[in-house]
Structure 1
Amino acid sequence: MKKTALSLSVLAALALGSAHAATVVKVATISPLSGSSSNLGLQIKNGTQLAINEMKDEFAKLGMTLQLVAYDDQADPATGTAAARRVAADRSILGVVGTLNSGVAIPASAVLAPSHVVMVSPSNTNEKVTDRGLKNMNRVCARDDAQGPAGGNFVTNTLKAKRVYVLNDKTPYGQGLSDQAEKEMKDNGATIVQSEGVAAEERDFTAIITKIQALKPDAIYFGGLYGQVGPFVKQLRDKGIQTPVIGGDGYDSDDLVKLAGTGATNIYFTTVAPPVDAVPAAKLLAGNYQKTFGSNIQGYGVMSYDAARVVLLGILNAAKANGNKVPSRTQVETSVRNGSYNLLTGPVKFDKNGDRMAAKMYVIAVKDGKRSTAGTVSVTRK
């Protein structure tokens, strides 16, 4: 009798544990947590964590325990796709915030689509991210077909450059951005003296700088990430070349200045992530970020917080529509796409492809290692 009673007690405890485990709801991040882009990848993870911390109590009221699962994609499509497969296999994960790189988002979202795992990107700008019409893929940032032209216009209309050297890092992000900027500069009457790609892993720019010295462009447009652009600018300045270098939001990291060293001047970039001081509503978030992580929040931290809020509110709205029970992935996918959200960066509503209907971009100047806002561009999807 005692053995039977003990067995029943054990079974009851196990059943109770299983019931508790079934209430766990997870949100995943997929971003580079190691490698040359880890600074931005950590902003995505940490911004999401802050949103989760703030909304845990709302989930608890519905009997759900909210958790973050962070995956390191190393800014690599194959690694990111493998992470997406692990996400799909974990049925407690109802949404993903990420990725940093469009080249990772495109295959990762395709892997997640059959399982209806919703993704909300804070940073992916390549048009193909949403133009494929996947029901699970959304973004809270502007696209390359807005960012590229904004950068091109800045080169020709503000910097008054007539001759431009164009580079890209051979990734979907860098090439797409440079292609759009190049088209806009040509339309504005500029001459493209050279347009070429350089592998994202390359850090020796001797041959390219030799060509720049010979062609003497008025400006250099480089579609790439800070981990590569920083060393490029340093080598450029070490050769005495002070030509302006312009790019996109892949430059948006404090590490750009560290990598460029004393050469961190005459650099401009468009960014879909706002300077923190340009978003008054983010002041409290910035304080929480500093207190929690011991470092300063950056633009992608703000964007990731907003992206995470979209995922979390989508889950909550789907749960309420589901009788306050944990919703299915399909219900969350539909809820996110059809929702309206008031976020730190403004109102968000998605079009049929998951693009944000109204967004802003910023032009940032780096002079002598210090950043300032050089302009703001409003973007509206039709």
Structure 2
Amino acid sequence: MNRITLTLIATLALGSAGAQSTIKIASIAPLSGGQSAIGTQARNGIQLAVQEYQPQFKKLGITLQFVPFDDQADPASGTAAARKIAADRTFLAVVGALNSGVTIPVSAALAPSKVAMVSSASTANQVTDRGLANMNRVVARDDAQGPAGANFLTQNLKAKKVYILNDKTSYGEGLATEVEKALKAKGVRVITNEGTDEKNDFSGLVAKIKLQNPDAIYFGGIYNQVGVFIRQLRQAGINTPVVGGDGLDSQELLTIAGKSAENVYFTTGAAPVEALPAAKTFAATYLKTFKQPAQGFAVYGYDAAKVVLQGVLNATKANKNKVPTREQVQTAIRKGTFKGLLSGTASFNSAGDRKAATLYVMKVGGGKVKLSTSIPVKPSKP
């Protein structure tokens, strides 16, 4: 064997070692389009968590990289990102996706490659009901959030007749269905559970609602659509309370609805920063880094990322401080107990649901979003 050959082998070996010492964590969220406000908040929270963990990995000789993917809240775009992630073996886990309608196909696409996922926002029951070993989430399910919304409608708003709307997505339909089920169980009259993907002109829908004169309206949808609906509803002189889920959890709702954002409520698993004493330092760092205040989706993006990163770190240490396999990371996340999160300690049941979570009811009015109440919940699945 000559010197040239030995040099070539040494070079290849160094290149291989370098590749093995780099790992990547991905995020999948809408970074452009109508839902970019909450997607960017989540991405920023994830970025801060990665920056915190990079020194710990560096001590082990591992370079930790963060790669955000923009799914535009579109299942096809999310699945395309999943294929890229699956093909690059340096990707060990994903934080996301944000929307349930994206998370469901993305997790199915990544399951054969054993790429672990921890969603910070996907609430649809189907996300975890499929029993995928790679899919976990840090927020409460629709079958917890739906009844919480129904309880608020009946106990706080004293509604006897409710008009339900949904945005025809996995998220919106799932949430509206759970609200409808819970309301009917309480003897409340549900006028209809109507799907709409309208984004601009709600005049026909508003006219129907005016004729029905409901005590309250429930809309399972996202802030960019619901904000327009609220504005047009109020412009038509209808001041009926509007209740929604965590899809309304964005300051952009106030921007879109303007002065019409009154008598609006929503349930969310993402606590306002001021409700979490542990989040003060995080909020200050977020503001300094991104020149804007942290909102709920940033908090849960950060927490979901910490679960992923600690899971990867645990798997690395169990693997004698060497880069772990995807399957080792998948197992470490599902079976781990994760302390030090802004939202409290997290661990997952056999389905990938958080064993204990908290829901918050927020009130929108006077140009502000304020905490109304908090509700501890547990997943209905084992």
Does the 8 A contact of 1:102 with 1:173 survive in 2? Answer: yes
Residue equivalent to 1:340: 337
Aligned length: 378
| Deviation for aligned residue 1:17 | 4.5
| Deviation for aligned residue 1:90 | 1.0
Does the 8 A contact of 1:44 with 1:98 survive in 2? Answer: no
Which residue among 326, 329, 332 is the counterpart of 1:329?
326
Question: Does residue 1:185 correspond to 2:179, yes or no?
Answer: no
Does the 8 A contact of 1:141 with 1:273 survive in 2? Answer: yes
Q: Pairwise mapping of residues 28-67 of structure 1 onto structure 2 (< 5 A)?
A: 28-67=26-65
Deviation above 3 Å: which 4+ runs of structure 1?
4-18
Question: Does residue 1:122 correspond to 2:117, yes or no?
Answer: no
Residue equivalent to 1:320: 317
* Secondary structure in structure 1 of the residue aligned to 2:360: strand
Question: Does residue 1:197 correspond to 2:200, yes or no?
Answer: no
Partner Cα separation in structure 2 for residue 61 and residue 205 of structure 1? 56
Which residue among 356, 366, 369 is the counterpart of 1:368?
366
Residue equivalent to 1:103: 101
Partner Cα separation in structure 1 for residue 355 and residue 80 of structure 2? 31
Partner Cα separation in structure 2 for residue 10 and residue 258 of structure 1? 61
Does the 8 A contact of 2:27 with 2:43 survive in 1? Answer: yes
Residue equivalent to 2:352: 354
* Percent identity over paired residues: 56
Partner Cα separation in structure 2 for residue 30 and residue 287 of structure 1? 25
| Deviation for aligned residue 1:21 | 3.0
| Deviation for aligned residue 1:166 | 0.5
Partner Cα separation in structure 1 for residue 238 and residue 8 of structure 2? 74
Residue equivalent to 1:295: 292
TM-score (norm 1): 0.96
Deviations 1:9-41 (A, max 9, x none): 788566534432321111000000001111111
Q: Pairwise mapping of residues 255-294 of structure 1 onto structure 2 (< 5 A)?
A: 255-294=252-291
* Secondary structure in structure 2 of the residue aligned to 1:25: strand
* Secondary structure in structure 2 of the residue aligned to 1:194: strand
Structure 1 letter corresponding to 2:203: T
Which residue among 234, 254, 258 is the counterpart of 2:251?
254
Partner Cα separation in structure 2 for residue 318 and residue 15 of structure 1? 24
Does the 8 A contact of 1:30 with 1:98 survive in 2? Answer: yes
Residue equivalent to 1:220: 217
Structure 1 letter corresponding to 2:236: K
Question: Any gaps of 5 or more consecutive residues in structure 2?
Answer: none
* Secondary structure in structure 1 of the residue aligned to 2:77: helix
Q: Pairwise mapping of residues 21-170 of structure 1 onto structure 2 (< 5 A)?
A: 21-170=19-168
TM-score (norm 2): 0.96
Partner Cα separation in structure 1 for residue 147 and residue 98 of structure 2? 21
Partner Cα separation in structure 2 for residue 189 and residue 259 of structure 1? 34
Which residue among 229, 235, 240 is the counterpart of 2:237?
240
More moved, 175-184 vs 325-334 = 175-184
* Secondary structure in structure 1 of the residue aligned to 2:274: helix
Partner Cα separation in structure 1 for residue 138 and residue 358 of structure 2? 10
* Secondary structure in structure 1 of the residue aligned to 2:270: coil
